[in-house]
Chains A and B, each alone.
Chain A
């Protein structure tokens, strides 16, 4: 496994548009190696390997309770892994606090939306830029010119992001007062405000109508074309992700049962079994 991943690692030098820095970019952005997480006697994630290629939409699918969200929580640092590694851009993330991991470039959304509900939409997106700004307590108290300049930059970026997700008209509304679908878009805007390399979305289509989730997937596809970004999705509904994913990993009972391009996954008997049950069982019913 390890050797295999090294083979895939192409080092190429390129400059990001709009950002005047040149960096070495690896093909694999995120990788988990033999990731294990236990809750008491329950092994939620068992020796799980996951690879996410740069610039692609990867999906992690599986039936309810397969351990998908646990994998996400370990990647973003909310849980500590009991074994194995999480490697992001060639760096082991073990033992890092969530806010450090965000600064490294992994932003996430939550399955049941977690916004700052009593703050305005604009403030929510501005808060996302916290880890990319640095003015401290004293410069804030005395409102130095640097601090004012930084705040004005934060506001402008927040405005641009709100316009991008189509929520600018709600900029001055409290986040709790906007529609559910809009809240989800706002959460994505907040995640984008942290200027991530990898965007991790936990069941983005849950609670959305078919129309809304189609729009969302289209939005994500467009986003990938415009920006240097990688997206990792969690879904339990196979149909939603198959259309847009470049790579799909299927998980059941904490283990990886299949991975590949969507067409292969559709035909994979293990996947069908996990979602629909074994054939004999069906006949009995």
Chain B
């Protein structure tokens, strides 16, 4: 009981954020709840790209492609075969992850800009394939419509804005917990080592190829889940939602927020999804303001708004005898 109290006292800012997030939808109208839903989607996508770009430093500019795979897997299997959305969450995650494994295996050794170019191509190929309606299952430019809502069986159907708001933010919360654990494990360290110096990582005994692929597979899987939630909320998926511009937005989220920093990613996705809504009046200058913000950021805060702080917890635990065993 005492330790529970300590956790709350130590992490009070996190608990304040959780309380604000869970109370605020009851004070907003449906329009703003939906805005916050898309904020959540961007946060989930940002976190998934953060694994690839932030933790391992791989330039992935086709990340929306993985989300498209997840969304279309959900849409097609639901509308054609009537499989409930809830079972399609793991399936669309696996479809996106499997696709990432297949496509990234041969290109994983490419460095920096080369990988960026290949991933742009990959994202575009996915989008163009969807537009061209292969075997008549993707519905061409119109997309697939009539997707069911997420249902937990019986009367528990997620069909209002406020319910889908909670679904996405609970998923984001669970993802954050998983990622924090990964960051503190040998897997997270191996990822960061590869980002810092690939040759040194290889010479320290890290299987660089395996860990790069793992990052792509996990990132794609998370993007697939985001695609599933997106499809069941909108009830329609179309190729235009997965354009190159959106992939760039995700890239910006990670760069603005801070590479590898989880709170940074949340702030970055807020910047990308909330500010355009707040400053509706200047909608025409949106891209201009956005570009200027990026330039200013890169000059004055190259590490992002909230750069990741390293170490401390582990080091402090080693200072006391009791702390050595548990962090």
Contacts and interface: CB of A to CB of B under 8 A. Distances in A.
A126 B317 CA distance: 14
Nearest to A118: B196
Interface string A100-115: 0011000010100011
B207 A119 contact: no
- Which of B186, B204, B206, B325 has the largest count of A CB atoms less than 10 A from its CB? B204
Contacts of A114: 197, 199-200, 203
Interface stretch (B67-75, B161-169, B187-195): B187-195
A114 B317 CA distance: 27
Interface in A155-193: 155-156, 159, 171-172, 174, 190
A63 B105 CA distance: 42
A141 B196 contact: no
A98 B198 CA distance: 12
Interface in B208-261: 208, 214, 218
B310 interface: yes
Interface string B289-327: 000000000000000000000111011111000001111
B326 A137 contact: no
B178 interface: yes
A148 interface: yes
A206 interface: no
B187 A140 contact: yes
B57 to A, nearest CB: 11
B314 A103 contact: no
A13 to B, nearest CB: 28
Nearest to A195: B205
B208 A99 contact: yes
A265 B204 CA distance: 33
A252 interface: no
A130 B326 contact: no
Contacts of B316: 172
Interface in A68-107: 76, 78, 97-99, 102-103
A123 B205 contact: no
Nearest to A104: B205
Contact of A141 (B181, B311, B312): B181
A128 B204 contact: yes
Nearest to B218: A137
A119 B315 contact: no
A130 B202 contact: no
A117 interface: yes
Contact of B325 (A76, A103, A152, A172): A152
Contacts of B3: none
Contact of B186 (A99, A119, A135): A135
Nearest to A133: B186
A222 B207 CA distance: 32
B287 interface: no
B185 interface: yes
A142 B212 CA distance: 21
A140 B181 contact: yes
A143 B181 contact: yes
A153 to B, nearest CB: 10
Interface string B44-62: 0000000000000000000
B125 interface: no
B206 A122 contact: no
A116 B214 contact: no
A266 to B, nearest CB: 33
B206 A127 contact: yes
A155 B200 contact: no
Given A120-B311, A123-B311, A130 B182 contact: no
- Which of B310, B311, B314, B325 has the largest count of A CB atoms less than 10 A from its CB? B314
Given A141-B178, A143-B181, A126 B189 contact: yes
Contact of B200 (A97, A116, A126, A151): A116
A220 interface: no
B201 to A, nearest CB: 8
A159 B29 CA distance: 54
Nearest to A190: B204
Given A137-B218, A155-B324, A156-B324, A98 B202 contact: yes
A137 B187 contact: yes
B189 A127 contact: yes
B196 A116 contact: yes
Contacts of A131: 204-206
A154 interface: yes
7 contacts: A119-B310, A123-B314, A126-B186, A140-B186, A148-B326, A151-B186, A154-B186
Given A122-B315, A137-B182, 17 more contacts: A99-B203, A110-B200, A116-B192, A119-B196, A119-B311, A120-B310, A127-B201, A127-B206, A128-B205, A140-B182, A143-B181, A148-B327, A151-B185, A151-B186, A154-B186, A172-B312, A172-B315
